């Protein structure tokens, strides 16, 4: 299975429901204004990649609004995660992009690095250390102003600079 290399959203679903979630993701992305989204299964069960023409963080906000209006449109999607940059899974590349994104963290702001990894031998702490080594800002693990999210999927890694709430979790939001 070929990994979509320029994805800007990660979608999670229950294992075995990837095709239903793929069709659902195409439908909801069209409903929020993307005429030609691309959604592909990955070689990780329960994980899809999507490419939307809408800014990924804005897409999450629009999906959240749609979820509130029409929760029945979200039967299979569990989470939708915005991805801003894609790099090869390489500590140097991850550190370089983390440093670029880190420049957007205000001097008075705090940050945290969150890593989710699949199909890699890299250790979580070595990824965090590589990324954090280039960012001269205060760390706050409990309530950071910004989060550098690092999503490793085998040979590719998606990285984003997010605020709390920039990831859509359908189950949490429907509670």
Closest CA to 26 of 42, 17, 37: 37
- Asked if residue 3 belongs to a domain, the reply is no
Structure confidence at residue 174 as a pLDDT band (50, 70, 90): confident
CATH number for the domain spanning 147: value is 3.30.2130.30
Whether 24 contacts 75, CB under 8 Å: yes
Same domain flag for 13 and 79: yes
For the segment 44-61, the average pLDDT, to the nearest whole number, is: 97
Same domain flag for 129 and 63: no
Same domain flag for 168 and 138: no
- Asked if residue 130 belongs to a domain, the reply is yes
Return d(Cα 136, Cα 21) in angstroms, integer. 39
* Res 35: pLDDT: 97
- Asked if residue 136 belongs to a domain, the reply is yes
Q: pLDDT tens digit string along 57-116?
A: 999 999 999 999 999 999 999 999 999 999 999 999 999 999 999 999 999 999 999 999
* Res 2: pLDDT: 55
- Asked if residue 147 belongs to a domain, the reply is yes
Same domain flag for 109 and 128: yes
Its domain, for residue 70, covers 9-84+163-174
Return d(Cα 34, Cα 164) in angstroms, integer. 25
> pTM score > 0.85 for this model?
yes
CATH number for the domain spanning 47: value is 3.30.70
């Amino acid at each position: 299975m070929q990994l979509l290399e320029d994805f800007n959203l990660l979608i999670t679903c229950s294992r075995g429901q990837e095709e239903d979630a793929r069709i659902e993701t195409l439908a909801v992305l069209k409903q929020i204004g993307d005429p030609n989204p691309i959604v592909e299964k990955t070689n990780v069960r329960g994980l899809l990649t999507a490419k939307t023409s809408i800014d990924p963080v804005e897409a999450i906000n629009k999906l959240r609004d749609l979820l509130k209006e029409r929760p029945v449109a979200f039967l299979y999607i569990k989470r939708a995660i915005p991805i801003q940059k894609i790099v090869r899974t390489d500590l140097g590349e991850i550190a370089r992009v983390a440093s670029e994104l880190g420049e957007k963290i205000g001097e008075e702001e705090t940050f945290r690095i969150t890593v989710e990894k699949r199909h890699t031998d890299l250790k979580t702490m070595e990824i965090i250390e590589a990324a954090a080594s280039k960012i001269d800002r205060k760390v706050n693990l409990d309530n950071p102003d910004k989060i550098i999210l690092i999503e490793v999927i085998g040979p590719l890694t998606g990285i984003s600079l997010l605020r709390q709430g920039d990831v859509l979790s359908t189950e949490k939001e429907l509670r």
